[in-house]
Amino acid sequence: MVDLSVKVADLTLKNPIIAASGTFGFGQEMAEFFDISALGAISTKGFTRLPRKGNPAPRVAECDCGMLNAVGLQNPGLEVVLQKELPFMRSANATIIANIAGDTAEDYIYITERLAQENIAAIELNFSCPNVKEGCITFGSDPQIIESLTAECVKRSPHPIWVKLTPNVTSISDMAKAAEQGGATAVSLINTLLGMIIDIETRRPILHNNTGGYSGPAVKPVALRMISEVYNSVSIPIVGLGGISSAEDVAAFMIAGASAIQIGTGLLVEPSLPWKILAELPELCRKLKVDRISELTGTLELWT
Amino acid sequence: MKKIEHDCILIKKTFLNQDNILLTFQSQIISDTAQPGQFVAIKGPAFLRRPFGIAQVDRSSGTFSLGIRKKAAGTAAFFNTKISDNYSVLGPLGHGFELDGLETLFIIGGGTGIYPLLFLLETAREKGITTYIATGFRSSTDVLLAEEMNRLADGFCLATEDGSTGIKGFAQNALEKLWLDFCNNYRRDFDNSKSDDDKDLVEHSFEKSKTALFCCGPHPMMQKAAMWAKQIGLQCQVSLEERMACGIGICRTCAVAVKREPDAEVIKTDAGAIKNEIDTVVVRQEPEFDYDRCCVEGPVFPAEVVEW
């Protein structure tokens, strides 16, 4: 029997597979077709204090081995999440990671406080959405803000605080260190890479937001490099994501340093992907000669 | 739990012209459950699935067909498909046309929008609804499915922009011609009625509440048709298209701007919790309308909710 359970600091997940924020809604649509309780956890659609309508369409553009999105954090707002979405997820026995976002530091602090009494596994601070004008990525590109805002949230929360990092910075290790300094329980990386696609006939970007976040298999090498780098820079656990679309990818991310992983864009194309990978992991572990999948974490041997 | 993903074998390929193809797949479950206006998302060689409105179903043989126009590499790849190849298909997806309670149906279509109208016509026919369809194309060489439309509909009017076949003009001109003919026939029947009973009968044959306009085609065509329907007082449903990733409502990319229902203002529900805090909240500039998902709430919307 292969043990698929993993630990992200003190939090034990039954397997390393987490649905990535923004690619799973709040689980309701997927629960019609799949057992959402079988996943290690679900990171909710990023939500804000007040409802948000998001960006005008087009919000998605396909590109080589992936896609760009600029949804702009469309979400029903904290109160609806508390009254409707989280209760549904609990009723479906899903392990909940609450992904939260805001325009201001106060937004993050307020939501963190309101989540204090909720039965959730962790809070993921979204410091990395590239598709909104305020907060998010602007915070995630400044180590001082990452550290101070993480500390403010940690101070006010009984839940583990994960910080989701953007790759659109000069040194992601500096950002991870700042999160660790601020008391984060874990860092999740990478969010999407900021990009643009151009329609040469209209000479306009396809996305109405002009730019969007690049995700999918194309960003996987970037994610692996960053995870490996961050693993050697901080001692808090890493939740890895960026283009994962097979059981082998999961293993590679864990070997690079991830304690758990998230699947996002891959499941938008193939909704059954997380469950398919889950079914393949035991066999892969046997092949890689580990009894516990967690043994893979950080076993990368760099060339010297 | 419902099954969303189906392995479907391609069993037939029909070239309609150089750039248009009808692909027929085997799937009893999709053919049994699909409603006109719904779509499927099919995985080809491109990264994302491609959404296509269901053009035909044959429940006896358990098959469904999709009409595809070659636009770019993603759609072009479907022209090189081989019979008996297997495809991953999500479906049937979305909210289709609502036919309940209708007796007379006017339909306008253009471009690839005409494909789902085949399925609509067939279903309307089964339900005993009288149908009048107007389609528009650039030129006679672009005309698609004219024979089928003529066979399935009670009235059919074709328009081409250069007048090389049918009437000269746009689909909207064809629609207005169908409507005029319909009204004239109605008036003539009414005037020729010999008794009050006959008049009652004729009057009953056309009730606006049981008549509708359904649209599927280019955005400007549908916008114009919806305005026209509003002017003459016909209910109208439009099948919209938007760039889409997942097709099942989770990614929120296929946003369609819709008029906000005053009661549905979510923000009210948090008034109690947030009232005292609201001064410190940066209140964002938010649009007046809402964004629905083309793949779940749509692709067919009542025209009056669409923020054109």
Domain count, chain B: 3
* Residue B115 falls inside a structural domain: yes
CA distance B61 to A208: 43
Of B93, B116, B137, the residue that ends a domain is B93
pLDDT of residue A135: 79
The answer, for B47 touching chain A at a CB cutoff of 8 Å, is yes
Give residue-wise pLDDT tens across range A48-92: 999 999 999 999 999 989 999 999 999 999 999 999 999 999 999
Residue A37's pLDDT band, with cuts at 50, 70 and 90, is: very high
Q: What is the pLDDT of residues B254-304, one digit of tens each?
A: 999 999 876 544 444 444 444 444 444 556 678 889 999 999 999 999 999
Boundary residue ending a domain (B215, B239, B263): B239
Nearest to B291 among A53, A107, A114 (CB): A53
Q: Which residue of B has its CA nearest to A52?
A: B286
Residues B267 and B189 reside in one and the same domain: no
Are the Cβ atoms of B249 and A25 closer than 8 angstroms? yes
pLDDT in tens, A184-221: 999 999 999 999 999 999 999 999 999 999 999 999 99
- Which residues 240-279 of B are in CB contact (within 8 Å) with A? 242-246, 248-257, 266-267, 269-270, 273-274, 277
Show the domains of chain A with their CATH numbers. 6-55+65-194+213-296 (3.20.20.70)
What pLDDT, in 10s, does the model give residues B53-102?
999 999 999 999 999 999 888 899 999 999 999 999 999 999 999 999 99
Q: Which residues of chain B have a CB within 8 Å of the CB of A55? A: 255
What mean pLDDT do residues B30-38 have? Answer: 98
pLDDT at residue number B281: 53
- Residue B30 is part of a domain; what is its CATH number? 2.40.30.10
Same domain, B254 and B196: no
DSSP per-residue codes, A171-228: -HHHHHHHHHHTT-SEEEE--PEEE--EETTTTEESSTTS-EEEESGGGHHHHHHHHH
Residue of A nearest to B253 (CA): A59
At B119 the pLDDT is: 98
Q: Select which of A63, A129, A136, A153 is catalytic.
A: A129
Q: Would you call B287 and A53 a contact, using CB atoms and an 8 Å cutoff?
A: yes
Residue A219: the pLDDT is 98
Q: Compute the mean pLDDT over every residue in chain A, rounded to the nearest whole number.
A: 96
Q: Which residue of B has its CA nearest to A264?
A: B251
Catalytic (active site) residue A129: yes
Check which CATH number belongs to the domain holding B142 and give it.
3.40.50.80
Both B139 and B232 in a single domain? yes
State the pLDDT at residue B190: 81
Average pLDDT over residues B231-244: 95
Q: What is the per-residue pLDDT across A82-112, written as a single tens digit (0 to 9) for each?
A: 999 999 999 999 999 999 999 999 999 999 9
| Tokens at B155, concatenated | 């009235």
Phi, psi of A172 (to 5 degrees): -70, -25
Q: Which long-range contacts (CB under 8 A, 24 or more apart) does B45-48 make?
A: B45/B77, B46/A62, B46/B73, B46/B74, B46/B77, B47/A62, B47/A63, B47/A64, B47/A65, B47/A66, B47/A67, B47/A216, B47/A269, B48/A60, B48/A62, B48/A67, B48/A268, B48/A269, B48/B74, B48/B244, B48/B245
Residue B146 and residue B212 in one domain: yes
Write the CB contacts of A243 (distance below 8 Å, at least 6 apart in sequence).
A65, A66, A215, A216, A217, A218, A219, A220, A223, A249, A265, A266
B272 located within any domain: yes
Q: Is B43 on the interface with A (CB under 8 A)?
A: yes
More confident call, A148 vs B278: A148
For residue B99, is it within any domain? Answer: no
pLDDT reading at B157 higher than 50: yes
Tell me whether residues B252 and A80 touch, CB distance under 8 A.
no
Beta carbons of B266 and A77 less than 8 Å apart = yes
Domain shared by B136 and B225, yes or no: yes
Identify all chain A residues contacting B95, using CB atoms and an 8 Å cutoff.
none
Q: Which of B42, B74, B93 represents a domain boundary (last residue)?
A: B93
Query: What residue numbers bound the domain in which B109 lies?
Result: 104-239
Can you say whether the dihedral through the CA atoms of A22, A28, A29, A33 is positive or negative?
positive
